[in-house]
Amino acid sequence: MPKHAKEMEALIEHLGKHQLKFTRQRELILDAFLKQEHITAEEMYHQLAKKDPHLGLATIYRTLNLFCEAGLAQARHFGTQTQYDNTSHKGHHDHLICTDCGKIVEFENCDIERLQEEVATRNGFTIQTHRLELYGLCSRCRH
């Protein structure tokens, strides 16, 4: 059984529903993407240049955005670039961000997630994904 069978199937299902095609590039990019917790398009471009020097940057952007629509990725804007988070990596999707030095601490908190579910249910929503970012000063920068 391939490493990322579940995600591959999710992608194929999304493609089918939207009359999109399964291409060599999409498979290549999915494989590379699922190995990371998060990555930028530029990083992936350089990483994949070794396997396929002709893979265009535009294709990577398009495909990562496709993954977002399929629910496999989630875009996060930080600094000047866009980070694409791998949503199959369960924890570590919440962030503490130092507004002074830019330090990022990833965390996971079950209690918060449970309360989020509660809020959603109370409002008739079914949560697919979420984004939680806490901005402040880290211990170093506070002084």
Can residue 13 be called a binding residue for a copy of itself (CB under 8 A)? no
Q: Which is nearer to DNA, 25 or 116 (CB)?
A: 25
Can residue 17 be called a binding residue for a copy of itself (CB under 8 A)? no
Can residue 131 be called a binding residue for a copy of itself (CB under 8 A)? yes
Rounded Cα distance, 44 and 59, in Å: 11
Rounded Cα distance, 10 and 19, in Å: 14
In the complex, least distance from residue 41 CB atom to a copy of itself, rounded to whole angstroms:
14
86 binds, among DNA, a copy of itself, none (CB under 5 to 8 A by kind): none
Rule CB under 7 A: choose which of 2, 5, 17, 21 binds DNA.
21
Burial of 110 (0-12, 13-18, 19+ CB in 10 A): exposed
Q: Which residues of 33-70 are buried (b: 16+ CB within 10 A; e: fewer)?
A: bbeeebbbbebbbeebeeeeeebeeebbbebbebbbeb
- Residues forming contacts to a copy of itself in the complex (CB under 8 A) are 74-80, 94, 96, 98-99, 105, 107, 109, 111-112, 115-116, 119-120, 123-139, 142
